[in-house]
């Protein structure tokens, strides 16, 4: 027990101890948090990539922790790639020495053919790919080889936009028979309704889980729909019948949202947001690369992936319409600005870089020059 004099003194001199106690707690807590931040670092620190001229506010912020973590699937490519073996002339060709050589690969040397076959099996996760001539995977695989060669040869402006990167089967497949981020038609999403409302206000992967329309990929990346909704003219006096409607704007935003998510960037990676209409001047170089990407995806879907619908077994087709599996930005990019963070995947694979069937191998002298 406390002595009497203390209780008496206490009663006569009432003091609010809560105020100072709270003060000490708050200051102590702040010092503690500050000490943690100083010693461990700010967990949500961001770094930003400036995409436009100074003063325009054009930048793409990213968490430093994300930037420090490389794409974990890069390792899977590095494990499966191998240097080409430049032919010395006079070797037996794969077409003569082997059975079931896919069209276009007959003129490879046996060594390079086996090297490529081994890699394609690893990249697609199909250990007996091209062994059974009658299997649908063989038939689909033949088309895939031509598609991959066409991308590297004719869309270099996209897939080598900054430096040599290119694509192989791994860019889409990542070790699995069915690539991630393929898509199927899903509209209408509201069966009891007709008309526009039937394509939106439903949470689907195609609308990026927003209320925006679910048919943007179908309209713009298969049907050649025109992406043009924003201009500086008054619509009042214009030709109302041909002007874009608010629905076209919503569908365009649905596509742009998809594009941004596919690359893990925001709109300012490509646009100055005061001028979404601009196709020169107020755009970034990436806008032009993206524009080419849209043309490339239209071709991949219309010339390669949709025409092979009849080759697939029913379980590979779309759940709603039984349509062929299709590709788009996310199938290659998988959330990164450049697929596999810009890893050069084509340097080792001249066989997949040309549709001519006659790959160009660097001579040992060329290679020495490159490494000098």
Q: Which is nearer to ligand HEC, 190 or 257 (CB)?
A: 257
Q: In whole angstroms, how far apart are CA 170 and each of 149, 266, 319, 327?
A: 13, 26, 25, 14
CB atoms closer than 10 angstroms to residue 70: 12
Contacting ligand HEC (CB under 6 A), which of 150, 208, 337, 355?
337
In whole angstroms, what is the distance from residue 163 CA to residue 324 CA?
A: 32
Asked if 162 touches ligand HEC (CB under 6 A), the answer is: yes
Question: Token pair 């006569």 is at which residue?
Answer: 12
In whole angstroms, what is the distance from residue 354 CA to residue 173 CA?
A: 20
Contacting ligand HEC (CB under 6 A), which of 108, 198, 305, 353?
305
Left, alpha or beta for 55 (phi > 0: left; psi -120 to 50: alpha)? left
User: In angstroms, what is the minimal distance from the CB of 314 to ligand HEC?
Assistant: 11
Q: Which residues, in sequence order, are CB contacts of 122 under 8 Å at separation 6+?
A: 79, 80, 175
Asked if 222 touches ligand HEC (CB under 6 A), the answer is: no
Q: Which residues, in sequence order, are CB contacts of 124 under 8 Å at separation 6+?
A: 141, 169, 173, 175, 176, 177
Q: Which residues, in sequence order, are CB contacts of 70 under 8 Å at separation 6+?
A: 341
Asked if 230 touches ligand HEC (CB under 6 A), the answer is: yes
| Binding characters for ligand HEC, 139-158, by CB under 6 A (x = yes) | -xx--xx--x--x------x
User: In angstroms, what is the minimal distance from the CB of 228 to ligand HEC?
Assistant: 4
Q: Which is nearer to ligand HEC, 202 or 219 (CB)?
A: 219
Q: Quick one: 30 exposed, middle or buried, by C-beta within 10 A (0-12, 13-18, 19+)?
A: exposed
Contacting ligand HEC (CB under 6 A), which of 117, 167, 216, 353?
167
User: In angstroms, what is the minimal distance from the CB of 79 to ligand HEC?
Assistant: 17
User: In angstroms, what is the minimal distance from the CB of 180 to ligand HEC?
Assistant: 10
Contacting ligand HEC (CB under 6 A), which of 188, 325, 350, 359?
325
Restricting to residues 75-134, name those near ligand HEC by CB under 6 A. 120, 124, 126, 129
Cis bond leading into 270, ω under 30°?
Answer: no
Nearest to 214 by CA among 69, 303, 321, 133: 321
Restricting to residues 246-265, name those near ligand HEC by CB under 6 A. 252-253, 256-257, 259-260, 263, 265
Q: Which residues bind to ligand HEC, rule: CB under 6 A? A: 120, 124, 126, 129, 137, 140-141, 144-145, 148, 151, 158-163, 165, 167, 169, 171-173, 177-179, 182, 227-230, 252-253, 256-257, 259-260, 263, 265, 267, 269-271, 276-277, 286-287, 289-291, 293-294, 297, 300, 305, 316, 325, 327-329, 331-333, 337-339, 342
């Amino acid at each position: 027990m406390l002595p009497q004099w203390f209780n008496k003194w206490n009663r006569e001199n009432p003091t609010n101890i809560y105020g100072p106690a709270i003060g000490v707690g708050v200051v102590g807590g702040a010092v503690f948090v500050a000490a943690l931040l100083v010693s461990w670092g700010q967990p949500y620190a961001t770094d930003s990539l400036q995409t436009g001229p100074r003063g325009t506010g054009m930048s793409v912020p990213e968490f430093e922790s994300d930037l420090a973590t490389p794409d974990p699937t890069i390792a899977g490519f590095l494990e499966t790639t191998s240097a080409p073996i430049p032919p010395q002339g006079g070797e037996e060709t794969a077409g003569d020495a082997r059975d079931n050589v896919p069209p276009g690969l007959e003129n490879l040397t046996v060594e390079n053919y086996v090297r490529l076959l081994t890699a394609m099996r690893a990249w697609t996760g199909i250990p007996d790919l091209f062994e059974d001539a009658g299997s649908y995977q063989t038939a689909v695989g033949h088309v895939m080889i031509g598609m991959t060669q066409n991308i590297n040869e004719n869309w270099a402006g996209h897939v080598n936009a900054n430096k040599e990167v290119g694509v192989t089967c791994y860019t889409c497949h990542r070790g699995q028979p069915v690539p991630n981020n393929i898509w199927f038609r899903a509209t209408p999403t509201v069966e009891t309704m007709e008309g526009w409302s039937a394509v939106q206000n439903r949470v689907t992967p195609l609308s990026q889980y927003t209320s925006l329309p679910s048919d943007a990929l179908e309209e713009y990346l298969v049907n050649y729909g025109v992406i043009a909704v924003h201009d500086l003219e008054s619509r009042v006096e214009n030709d109302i019948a041909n002007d874009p409607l608010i629905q076209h704007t919503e569908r365009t935003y649905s596509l742009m949202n998809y594009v941004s998510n596919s690359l893990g960037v925001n709109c300012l990676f490509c646009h100055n947001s005061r001028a979404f209409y601009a196709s020169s001047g107020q755009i970034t170089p990436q806008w032009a690369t993206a524009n080419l990407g849209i043309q490339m995806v239209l071709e991949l879907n219309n010339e390669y992936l949709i025409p092979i619908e009849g080759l697939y077994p029913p379980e590979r087709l779309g759940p709603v319409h039984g349509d062929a599996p299709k590709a788009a930005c996310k199938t290659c990019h998988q959330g990164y600005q450049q697929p596999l963070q810009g890893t050069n995947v084509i340097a080792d694979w001249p066989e997949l870089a040309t549709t001519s069937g006659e790959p160009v191998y660097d001579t040992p002298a060329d290679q020495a020059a490159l490494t000098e």
